[in-house]
A and B are shown apart, each in its own frame.
Chain A
Amino acid sequence: MEGLIGVAVSGVVAAIQPLPLALISLGVIIGIVVGALPGLSSLTAMAVLIPITFGMEPANAVFFFMGIIIGGQFGNSLPAVLIGTPGTPASIMSAVEGYEFQKRGEGGKALGLSLVSSTFGQLLSGIGFVLLVIPLADFSVRFLFPEIFALSVLGLTTAATLTGRSPVKGIVAAAFGIALTTIGPDPVTSRPRFSFGYLELEVGLDVVSMIVGILVVSELIHASRQSFSWPEGQRATGRILPTLSELKKASGPMGLGTVIGFFIGALPGAGASVAHFVAYGQAKLFSRHPERFGKGSMEGFVAADAANNASSGGELTPTLGLGIPGGPGMVLVLVVLLIHGITPGPGLLQSAPGVLEAAVGGLLVGTVAMFVFGYLSIRPAVYLFSVSRPAVYVGALVISLIGIYSLRSSSFDVYVSLIAGTVGYFMRRYGYPVAPTALALILGGLIEENLRRGLVMTYGSFAVFFTRPAVVVILALAGIVLLQPAVTSYLRKRRRTAAPRRAP
């Protein structure tokens, strides 16, 4: 433990040297800008910038990439809050709640809350990483196929039942998303399914194109029906950062989101999206005002945002502790380390202590940099996103389509994104929430693969889902989340019918 605290202190000292600090700051700025552009993410920027890191020291490359990851997470909040367009599934609930703030003319305040909850989540997850990296790495190894399956089911049921006004339609939307992931090679046998002889379908539809279509393009098409009652050229005036009393109210959900985000982030494969939805769902379960959720609830907003950001520290745990990437961004961190001849895993502290120091230092100092640059970006972003709404929406649509094209230079992907966007538009029009579909696109493959591989391991016995304690707890939680809307609605109806009887 003392050794790890020493690593954290050395990491912070190393991170505040001129070159590392410049790289972290540059990374954060790139992350914020790229994260704010619909259709692009910090992942794209990292993938493109890998060659730049060839000439860097491994620790400097880690500083740079940690900056991009951290900046990208806050950058995603900008379009989510200001035009209701989440760039990734891990910012869907930020869009749902944050956009309500923007409609009330409080976009700047929402971004201030987002900045504080992001900083809180990142800092605590960094500290958690230092304190818990060894026990958590041991713990996450015990999370096998059934646990990952159960966790994915929990994330999906939360998204299905909490994001729309009709839970039944939410479940249909989630099933539709998983159905889309079944197009292409089978996860176990690799034989193509639902390809109907088309080569493009045999390799499967690109998940990123579909997610951008379902989330971003559909919202941009849908936006052309809206009047937008807030004034043109709105500026973020007055206080951006929350007051002390607001912070006091937000601290509980922020803490809850941070804990959930950190632990779910530490599980290989689960990632920020699941953490984001589970934290939102749990915040609603524990809230005194669950009726405010979906209408600009501060509790839901900060819990989901803190969880999304806290997953970074969690994701570092299996990435550096076991050599298993905790999330998509961490895959690229691993790639960079492997290019430099460093193999992450249990012996990393002995073999390359500088890298571990850089990861911790980058996370903690990067968070401070994110707070500074994020704060400076809020006022210009609020103004820029509202200076001419037609320009912002049409520009965002064009950038999304070019962004999709740039991933694989494939026109087919852009057509897929456009079709997904049109389907998403009609889903929104008729009450089928798009958030469960987007999350299902990420988790669908994970659910099928883990379910089937799990059953192969147990020779077809489903008992594994009822005998492993963690699986039972997680699936029970998923059951509660699934049944909660029906039970609440039943109780409300009973109360309503009982009230007139009591009246005379």
Chain B
Amino acid sequence: MDRRADLFVAVLVLAFSVLYFLAASKFGDTGREPLGEGSLPRLLAVIMAMGSGWVIFRRLSTWRRQWDHRVPSEVEQDDDPNYPVSPVRPLLMVGVALGYVVMLPTIGIVVSTPLAVMVGMRLWGVREWRTLLPVALGLTLAIYGLFAGFLEVLLPLWPAF
């Protein structure tokens, strides 16, 4: 894990805690109960600030000892060193999901679902149309059957124009 990224995230968490604390400070006491509306949020802000402060301290206190900025990993699941994936790919996946959600009310699930599935699978490296098309259509049919048919959910099915 790169400690510079770890430090940057910890600073972000610290900034969030400070803003959260300031926002919570605006809540006045109701006078009818010992702990007011802002007590727990303020306590949480202090806990987050202390935690992120500890991470910042730990990184900075050993800063001079390491030149390569690599520190023992603390992530739940490490990247596979034999499978270098651009960090852009997960962000593109978020983009596909966002596009899908934006398109859904306008063009309906029948059109937006196969589009999103095909673009998403292409991002994963699937190029063959004979795989993309059946999967996209099959998934759309399954989602239509499950949600609109079985669960009777009111979904925008077709384009609204």
The residue from A186, A394, A399, A428 contacting B124, defined by CB atoms under 8 A apart: A394
A178 at the interface (CB under 8 A from B): yes
A225 at the interface (CB under 8 A from B): yes
CB pair B94 A221 closer than 8 Å: yes
Given contacts A225-B89, A229-B80, A397-B120, contact A179 B20 (CB under 8 A): yes
CB pair B76 A171 closer than 8 Å: no
CB pair A406 B139 closer than 8 Å: no
Residue on B with the closest CB to A171?
Answer: B51
Residue picked from A163, A168, A220, most chain B C-beta under 10 Å: A168
In whole angstroms, how far apart are the Cα atoms of A389 and B146 in the complex?
Answer: 21
By a CB distance below 8 angstroms, the chain A residues around B90 are: 221-222, 224-225, 425
CB pair B48 A165 closer than 8 Å: no
Q: How large is the interface on B (under 10, 10 to 19, 20 to 34, 35 or more residues)?
A: 35 or more
A340 at the interface (CB under 8 A from B): no
The residue from B73, B80, B89 contacting A224, defined by CB atoms under 8 A apart: B89
CB pair A455 B48 closer than 8 Å: no
CB pair B126 A178 closer than 8 Å: no
A193 at the interface (CB under 8 A from B): yes
Residue on A with the closest CB to B116?
Answer: A398
A166 at the interface (CB under 8 A from B): yes
In whole angstroms, how far apart are the Cα atoms of A229 and B78 in the complex?
Answer: 13
CB pair B27 A456 closer than 8 Å: no
CB pair B131 A388 closer than 8 Å: yes
CB pair B98 A418 closer than 8 Å: yes
A162 at the interface (CB under 8 A from B): no
The residue from A176, A229, A418 contacting B101, defined by CB atoms under 8 A apart: A418
A229 to chain B, nearest CB (A): 7
In whole angstroms, how far apart are the Cα atoms of A44 and B151 in the complex?
Answer: 9
Mask: chain B, 48-88; 1 = CB below 8 Å from A; 0 = not: 10011011000000000000000001111101101101010
Given contacts A165-B73, A182-B41, contact A390 B94 (CB under 8 A): no
CB pair A172 B48 closer than 8 Å: yes
B56 to chain A, nearest CB (A): 11
Given contacts A225-B89, A401-B101, A405-B104, contact A171 B120 (CB under 8 A): no
A135 to chain B, nearest CB (A): 34
In whole angstroms, how far apart are the Cα atoms of A250 and B89 in the complex?
Answer: 40
CB pair B6 A395 closer than 8 Å: no
B18 at the interface (CB under 8 A from A): no
B144 to chain A, nearest CB (A): 10
A285 to chain B, nearest CB (A): 21
CB pair B73 A431 closer than 8 Å: yes
Residue on A with the closest CB to B52?
Answer: A172
CB pair B40 A172 closer than 8 Å: no
In chain B, positions 22-41 with a C-beta closer than 8 Å to chain A are: 23-24, 27, 30, 32-35, 37, 40-41
Residue on A with the closest CB to B118?
Answer: A394
Given contacts A48-B152, A429-B75, contact A172 B124 (CB under 8 A): no
Given contacts A189-B37, A402-B155, A406-B153, contact A433 B76 (CB under 8 A): yes
The residue from A189, A394, A428, A451 contacting B117, defined by CB atoms under 8 A apart: A394
B135 at the interface (CB under 8 A from A): yes
Interface on chain B toward A: helix, strand, loop, or mixed SS? Answer: helix
The residue from B75, B101, B124 contacting A414, defined by CB atoms under 8 A apart: B101
In chain B, positions 87-145 with a C-beta closer than 8 Å to chain A are: 87, 89-90, 93-94, 97-98, 100-101, 104-105, 109, 113, 116-117, 120-121, 123-126, 131, 135, 139, 143
Residue on B with the closest CB to A188?
Answer: B33
In whole angstroms, how far apart are the Cα atoms of A224 and B79 in the complex?
Answer: 10
By a CB distance below 8 angstroms, the chain B residues around A286 are: none
CB pair B147 A402 closer than 8 Å: yes
B15 at the interface (CB under 8 A from A): no
Residue on B with the closest CB to A225?
Answer: B85
The residue from B40, B55, B131 contacting A182, defined by CB atoms under 8 A apart: B40
CB pair B40 A406 closer than 8 Å: no
Mask: chain A, 430-443; 1 = CB below 8 Å from B; 0 = not: 11111000000000
A203 to chain B, nearest CB (A): 16
CB pair A406 B147 closer than 8 Å: yes
CB pair A179 B124 closer than 8 Å: no
CB pair A191 B124 closer than 8 Å: no
In chain A, positions 329-343 with a C-beta closer than 8 Å to chain B are: none
CB pair B41 A193 closer than 8 Å: yes
By a CB distance below 8 angstroms, the chain A residues around B151 are: 44-45, 48, 406
In whole angstroms, how far apart are the Cα atoms of A225 and B48 in the complex?
Answer: 29
A426 at the interface (CB under 8 A from B): yes
CB pair A179 B48 closer than 8 Å: yes
By a CB distance below 8 angstroms, the chain A residues around B94 are: 221, 418, 421-422, 425
CB pair A226 B54 closer than 8 Å: no
By a CB distance below 8 angstroms, the chain A residues around B154 are: 409
In whole angstroms, how far apart are the Cα atoms of A425 and B74 in the complex?
Answer: 14
By a CB distance below 8 angstroms, the chain B residues around A48 are: 151-153
Residue on A with the closest CB to B8?
Answer: A430
The residue from A84, A186, A399, A426 contacting B9, defined by CB atoms under 8 A apart: A426
A227 at the interface (CB under 8 A from B): yes
Given contacts A175-B47, A224-B85, A415-B101, contact A391 B41 (CB under 8 A): no
CB pair A388 B135 closer than 8 Å: yes
Pull 27 A–B residue pairs with CB atoms less than 8 Å apart, ordered by A: A37-B146, A164-B74, A165-B76, A169-B74, A172-B51, A188-B37, A193-B27, A193-B41, A224-B123, A226-B79, A226-B80, A226-B85, A391-B117, A394-B120, A394-B121, A395-B135, A409-B155, A414-B104, A418-B101, A426-B9, A430-B75, A431-B6, A433-B76, A452-B34, A456-B33, A456-B34, A459-B34
Question: Knowing that A225-B85, A389-B124, A390-B120 are A-B contacts, what are 18 other residue pairs whose CB atoms are under 8 Å apart, sorted by A's residue number?
Answer: A37-B146, A48-B152, A84-B77, A168-B55, A169-B51, A172-B52, A225-B79, A226-B77, A227-B83, A394-B121, A398-B116, A406-B147, A409-B155, A411-B104, A415-B101, A418-B94, A448-B40, A455-B35
